[in-house]
Amino acid sequence: MFRRTIISLLIFISAGVGVIVAQDTTAGHQYAHVTEYFDSLTYQPVDTVIARINELIAATDDPNTQSMIAGLAFDYYYRSPIMGQEAVAVYIADNYFLNKKLKWSDDNSYPLLFTFAEFNRASLIGMEAQDLIISDIDSNNVSLKACGGEYKIMYFYDARCATCKEQTDQLCEILKRYSGPPVTLLAVYTQSDREEWMDYVNAHFATIDNPAVKVVNLWDPEGESLYHKKFAVLSTPSMLLLDRDNIIIGRKLNCEALAQLLVARNEFREECLKLFNTLFDSEEGMTDAEMARIVDLLYAKTKNDRNLFKDTFYELYGYLDSHPGYEFRKGALYVAQIYILDKAELWSETMLDEAEYAVEMFGKNMVGSKATDLVLQNRCGKDKSILSYKSDYTILYFHLVQCEDCQKFTSEIKEISKTLKKKGIKLIAIYVGRDEVIWKDFIKDNEKKWVYLWDKNNDSLMHQKYDIRYVPKIYLLDNENTVIANDIDATTLIDLINKL
């Protein structure tokens, strides 16, 4: 019953697509200069376009003229071929006509106006996608938000649709050749014939053999997930592109547009990396004030374009947060507090949660504070306090055995083992993994004078007490267990040791 209702509604909507017209042709000619003004805004951000239209409507006190201008704006942006500009049409519908502030001139098309806004409002560019709980090919429920990947492609198709067949073939070829950050394809079959679906999956999506691409085949034969309304699936094929925080960065895409968008996004990330490497390149390190000045400058350059600001600061936060060095961690903290948490209305729940957690963890074991104790187990299974070892200085080395960066640090620190002993420095290697066999093999292969500990019982709350989202993570303590260096690499650690 539910599925039949959805299908009936979609037929009604599809029949009306392209015919929602607020003003007649004569009026359009009369106000041609208004349309020309809209043309001049083509390359402006959506927020700027909306602000200009509001100013234009407010410039007159006559309700009929206001209605005419608003109607022309709706028609213009409803028909716009530029991705993302449908957000302007939704705004006009919601803020002028559906709330009855102004009169919609054509009563016959009013239901289509309502339906257009209703089916597009939740999936506009820059919005966080609603979660979608839907069945996979093995009848397991899959959550959109729980799926990983730097990008997520949502592809809705009908196996009997000729255009879908054409787009599916192109999509599979794109993903077979794709070489970038991990992508998850959520391919949603929109009909109810399971055998037909299985055959289609085997003939197309099963041929994608690319380690950078994960394919999840989904369906909802009864339409219970409301994917039609959540993602404006009024016809097939329908395709959206989401980032890792489930922010919609592309909608109503064909395969050519998808490929171009993926290339553009990856090129943008590469350009950001080059820019950040240049801005934050300092052999002597950066002060808090210098770091803040650069971040504030980037904000000044991007603040007038919401999407540019979010894209830039998304990359900036990731760059600073993952970059080795305490000053970078403080830079990430500054971005999280000032430009993410203090601008919460712009960010997804996922991003806000990540930033809030990072701020919380940054306060753990800061330079100048007493290190937090942990009770862990040695190779014999005996409990040991990490702060019970008496020495002039202590290195806390949180690591994973198979981590390449950890292996590099282990190799570099082994080369100065004599210096460590000479200066009374105790190294405590804390394994954060769960594989006891490879941990004990690691112990056999390394220095006998090091202390080797791990959380055998997984009850130390290590991850709540220390920020070990990334490893290796290095702390240097003095003889009173005060943190004198935090989140440093091997080169910085060795320099500090040589100065002791």
* Distance in angstroms (rounded) separating the CA atoms of residues 332 and 291: 10
Q: How far is CA 100 from CA 59, 86, 129, 201, 438, in A?
A: 19, 20, 28, 47, 68
Give the amino acid at 212. A
CA proximity to 317, closest of 282, 289, 285, 343: 343
- Residue 399: per-residue pLDDT: 95
Q: Tell me how long the chain is.
A: 500
- Residue 284: per-residue pLDDT: 65
Catalogue the long-range contacts made by 231-234 (C-beta closer than 8 Å, 24 or more residues apart): 231/122, 231/123, 231/129, 231/132, 231/154, 231/156, 232/119, 232/120, 232/122, 232/123, 233/156, 233/190, 234/10, 234/13, 234/14, 234/17, 234/119
Give the amino acid at 119. F
Q: Please write the tens of the pLDDT for every residue from 236-248.
A: 999 999 998 899 9
Question: Domain 375-499 has what CATH class?
Answer: alpha beta
**267: pLDDT strictly greater than 90:** yes
**Helices marked H in 366-470:** 404-414, 417-422, 436-444, 462-465
Q: Please write the tens of the pLDDT for every residue from 68-122.
A: 999 999 999 998 888 889 999 999 999 999 999 999 988 888 998 998 999 899 8
- Asked if the domains at 133-256 and 375-499 fall in one CATH topology, the answer is yes
What are the E-state strand segments in 299-414? Answer: 375-377, 383-385, 393-399
- Residue 23: per-residue pLDDT: 55
User: Cα(first)–Cα(last) distance of the chain, in Å?
Assistant: 77
**26: pLDDT strictly greater than 60:** no
**172: pLDDT strictly greater than 70:** yes
By DSSP bridging, strand 213-219 and strand 183-189 are parallel
Q: Average pLDDT, whole number, for the chain?
A: 89
**Helices marked H in 134-217:** 162-177, 194-203
Query: Percent of the chain scored above 70 by pLDDT?
Result: 93
β-partners of residue 485 are 476
β-partners of residue 184 are 152, 214
- Residue 4: per-residue pLDDT: 44
What are the E-state strand segments in 18-122? Answer: none
Q: Sketch the domain layout of the chain as residue ranges.
A: 2-120, 133-256, 280-362, 375-499
Structure tokens at 47: 């927020």
- Residue 283: per-residue pLDDT: 59
β-partners of residue 219 are 135, 189
* Distance in angstroms (rounded) separating the CA atoms of residues 346 and 126: 9
Helix (H) or strand (E) holding 242: strand 238-243
Q: Nearest 5°: phi and psi at 20?
A: -80, 110
**8: pLDDT strictly greater than 70:** no
Nearby residues of 377 by Cβ (< 8 Å), 6 or more positions away: 383, 384, 453, 454, 455, 456, 457
Question: Domain 133-256 has what CATH class?
Answer: alpha beta
**436: pLDDT strictly greater than 80:** yes
